[in-house]
Structure 1
């Protein structure tokens, strides 16, 4: 299949931009790579899979995968103009709505394969808030089987520890280790089911960044290391209060019982039962029923998503009670009942979107979105099946 003008435009722009972006990335992240390296454009496209830590992902991979590639990304990421321009126009990223069947995205995927582009997938569909690989979209196995191309894995470790998703400040001395490997040849794909493909992917991509850090103990020296922690922690493990946590400087503080821990320069928690956020998150999720039975409130901006653009509906006080989210200000009031909320998605650090009665809403300027996502995941089940 012939390439379009936009394809050639994208290829040319990315050729010149790549070295500049990689140079900028090196100011924040040192990438150490082992294993399979692709230093030239492949004659036959492949499917590349990787775990997800933040927006640097594709550039971290690009340092050692130099074949032309088109990534699949959630369409909610395109609400930001800079990403809509960079990902949409320059990189020709394939938009897909997380959780929804999207025949248009599938069609574009196979169209790009026919043009000779490899396809990049992040099977988690999101990047981790707490440092451990997320559950994965099972439809990825079916897509890989249908594509019938070699599957290459680039596993990333250290990205979360260097730049935690919830944090207000990132390390300028970050370390990422990547490992490349041929996961399946297309001949091997013929001998396995899509479920078996996913079992291999889940095993090979699994990562706990705190286990990685225990081996290396990089001094990441982030400033104000606890600030932003309320984006992740919603349950105090000392007094069991809900949505009472905040970060000040390096301290994790509960509004009810005071300092509950301090994040050190190696990103481990001191003076708490848990020294890492993976274990802390497993603990707080074990209390999710108590969280669902609680009440809390915080401020947000409500937007309606129209043609992949945020249309602001105003600033609101969000109140949660009895499996209902209520947003109210002096002019308007919106109610969202849990069992009618579809396709919840955390986007970036400060955005949470969902569908409700045929409309896509996006909450921005939000610092407590993870608690909403986890309550909905527990109540309504995973949308990644």
Structure 2
């Protein structure tokens, strides 16, 4: 007999939406190369451009500003390069400024040299220190250096929302280029690239119920383009990303983006109700428990809970055996041993940080999922803590 699982790991990947699956099957059935001029090619091109428009609507951007990629990591890699034409004006950046809580896909700086990457501190809630950003921008401008600033919209581990609008305003006042990793915020927050004030933002299909293997780098202006594409080839994606496009995955991306946009107002309220109830019940039932970033503005679907005296990896396995699926930190780093760099940057005590797990909800989440997770946590946490004490 198949046992129902409570899936609370949407920040790692959100289950495929039926609308995205239907769009993918239709594209797979039709076939065709979108660069071909015959009927099948034109049909594939139509699906591609329809998806481009849907993703552009989600981001509040022009359709010609959307460059499809294999995912957010590739989008970040394309973005993080010194040489850009921003709204048609050539710009060369000398240094990359980013926060200490960024995804590892940004922290390594990609095509900026190691000496050209500066990691800026965050406060106890995990928000970028704007005073430090301002000081570093001023220092670089005074030395004749132009910066690129890369700041995520919302943290993948804690859900804490970053002050992107304020950071972009400071950055542009010093002539900087601004990139935003909007992967976790897309479909969970109102997303408008112009309202954010950023030049570029990265998206990922599978975080919003689309397929894995599709993403996009979105520009605020159709005249913004990298002077150093990652993949050169047959001129696809306006010459910014060579190679035949993955039309089925992109069609699924577009369908998921449209669903996420249409569902956003009611979905944000629904998930906030589920998430807040989950947190209140856990804190009330289990001692030595802390909700990370609780006093900051957060995504309504995300909770990071630290259990003192426990190891997150042990707790994740115990919950899995109880058919509750959660993460210990970022899914991209879940196979690594060590504390979360996000929680360390926030100054969380190591004992708490080592016992932090992330529970994240999404379009398929139900009250039953939350109730199942609560029952499992009430049972599993004391058991794991008791075994840990006996072992010590």
TM-score tier after normalising by the smaller chain length: 0.3 to 0.5
TM-score normalised to structure 1 length? 0.36
More helix as a share of residues: 2
TM-score normalised to structure 2 length? 0.35
Which structure is higher in RCO with an 8 Å CA cutoff and minimum separation 6? 2
